[in-house]
């Protein structure tokens, strides 16, 4: 006899990218920052007295929220801390979408959205992106026709890296009756020349929430720390009702605060990633790949005609180079490649050059 709820028994779980501990493997498959976290993070870790761990941490991660508020120029009431960005996704669904209410996403998108919606028993409505990976012109109308209570957009988009401008997000929010959750996991890697900043939109409107994470930009994927930004009216029920008690631990709070307070260090790594991203995209293009312009820390590369993306993925894996292959509609002829260090990217390109020249 199975005691699983029916929707749990019939669903498929999330499949993460491969994780390895070997230093011999070049890991370009899960969009981690190739550079270490700020020295301030190491100093904070070394300065922790283990005796403090006998006590519970700050329930709402006050020190981190204050640091994040200063970073963004907003109030602590606009910030909720979470155990990674993924916890925020779950909390937003739990707080604002009742079972049976429709959640809308694009197709393709981050595959965890489907899993979380199915756990919550929310029907998922997928809106196909155009051939250019842009939103369809009638996107808001499709949201309305689907009766969507919530829309989740990852921006920059995954797995393409395309960026929706704030003006587009503003237009969607103004014409959508539901909640717009913008997953900004990769926003730190956006070219500063674009002056992209959706924080004022989230703080000013009552139907927009932003997801932020320290996993990518701050090189803390192993820490599992994220946060949400929104109006106090949206943040309050998450922070004081649906969030787990003590959802972020003492060590994580201290390291996360140290990281966001040393933003200058992180910004230096973002610039390195942006430069490497451009060089990688240009090199792939010269080898005959089609590369979607990306504002994230990865590129989506379409293989030259006549070549199998799945086979290339396996071949690279046999050479200790991990990239990401998605066995999904519109993605089977493509590989998503995280931007590594110049040396890691050079090793990848050398392997590809041997195969495509």
Helix (H) or strand (E) holding 153: strand 148-154
Average pLDDT over residues 150-154: 98
Q: Which of 255, 301, 244 is nearest to 277 (CA)?
A: 301
**Fold of domain 18-37+264-356:** 3.90.1150
Spatial CB neighbours of 168, under 8 Å, sequence gap ≥ 6 = 135
Boundaries of every domain in the chain = 18-37+264-356, 39-261
Integer Cα distance of 354 and 127 in angstroms? 39
- Start-end of H helices in 148-300: 166-175, 199-204, 232-237, 250-261, 263-286
Residue 185's pLDDT is: 98
Q: Provide the pLDDT confidence category of residue 16 given band limits of 50, 70 and 90.
A: confident
For 228-250, give one letter per residue: b (16+ CB within 10 A) or e: bbbbeebbeebbeeebeeebbbb
Residue 4's pLDDT is: 92
Average pLDDT over residues 147-170: 98
Q: Provide the pLDDT confidence category of residue 234 given band limits of 50, 70 and 90.
A: very high
Residue 23's pLDDT is: 81
Does this chain's domain 18-37+264-356 share its CATH topology with 39-261? no
For the cut 90, the answer to whether the pLDDT of residue 19 exceeds it is no
Integer Cα distance of 214 and 251 in angstroms? 14
**Fold of domain 39-261:** 3.40.640
Mean pLDDT (the chain) is 97
- pTM of the shown model: 0.96
Contact, 206 vs 233, CB < 8 A?
yes
Residue 252's pLDDT is: 98
Which tens digit of pLDDT belongs to each residue from 245-263?
A: 999 999 999 999 999 999 9
Average pLDDT over residues 79-102: 98
Integer Cα distance of 310 and 326 in angstroms? 8
Integer Cα distance of 200 and 72 in angstroms? 9
Using alpha carbons only, give the angle 338, 154, 313 rounded to the nearest 5 degrees: 30
Q: Provide the pLDDT confidence category of residue 11 given band limits of 50, 70 and 90.
A: confident
- Among 9-23, 25-39, 226-240, the minimum mean pLDDT is found in 9-23
Average pLDDT over residues 98-110: 98
For the cut 90, the answer to whether the pLDDT of residue 1 exceeds it is no
Using alpha carbons only, give the angle 53, 54, 60 rounded to the nearest 5 degrees: 65
């Amino acid at each position: 006899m199975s005691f699983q709820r029916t929707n749990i028994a019939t669903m498929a779980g999330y499949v993460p990218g491969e994780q390895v501990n070997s230093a011999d493997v070049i890991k370009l498959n899960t969009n981690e920052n190739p550079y270490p976290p700020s020295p301030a993070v190491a100093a904070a870790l070394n300065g922790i007295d283990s005796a403090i761990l006998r006590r519970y941490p700050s329930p709402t991660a006050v020190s981190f929220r204050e640091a994040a508020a200063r970073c963004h120029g907003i109030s602590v009431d606009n910030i909720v801390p979470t155990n990674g960005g993924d916890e925020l996704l779950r909390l937003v669904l739990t707080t604002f979408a009742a079972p049976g209410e429709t959640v809308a996403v694009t197709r393709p998108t981050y595959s965890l959205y489907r899993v979380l919606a199915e756990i919550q028993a929310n029907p998922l409505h997928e809106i196909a992106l155009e051939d250019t990976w842009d939103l369809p012109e009638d996107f808001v109308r499709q949201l309305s026709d689907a009766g969507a209570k919530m829309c989740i957009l990852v921006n920059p988009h995954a797995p393409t890296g395309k960026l929706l401008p704030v003006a587009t997000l503003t237009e969607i929010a103004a014409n959508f009756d539901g909640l717009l959750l913008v997953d900004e996991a990769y926003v730190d890697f956006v070219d500063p020349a674009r002056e992209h900043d959706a924080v004022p939109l989230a703080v000013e409107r009552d139907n927009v929430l932003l997801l932020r994470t320290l996993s990518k930009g701050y090189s803390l994927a192993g820490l599992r720390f994220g946060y949400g930004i929104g109006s106090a009216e949206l943040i309050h029920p998450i922070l004081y009702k649906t969030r787990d008690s003590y959802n972020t631990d003492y060590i994580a709070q201290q390291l996360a605060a140290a990281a966001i307070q040393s933003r200058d260090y992180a910004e230096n790594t973002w610039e390195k990633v942006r430069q490497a991203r451009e060089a990688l995209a240009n090199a792939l293009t010269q080898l005959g790949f089609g590369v979607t312009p990306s504002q994230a820390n990865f590129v989506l590369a379409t293989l030259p005609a006549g070549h199998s993306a799945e086979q290339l993925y396996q071949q690279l894996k046999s050479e200790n180079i991990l990239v990401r292959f998605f066995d999904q509609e519109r993605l089977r002829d493509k590989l998503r490649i995280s931007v590594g260090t110049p040396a890691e990217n050079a090793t990848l390109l050398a392997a590809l050059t041997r195969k495509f020249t």
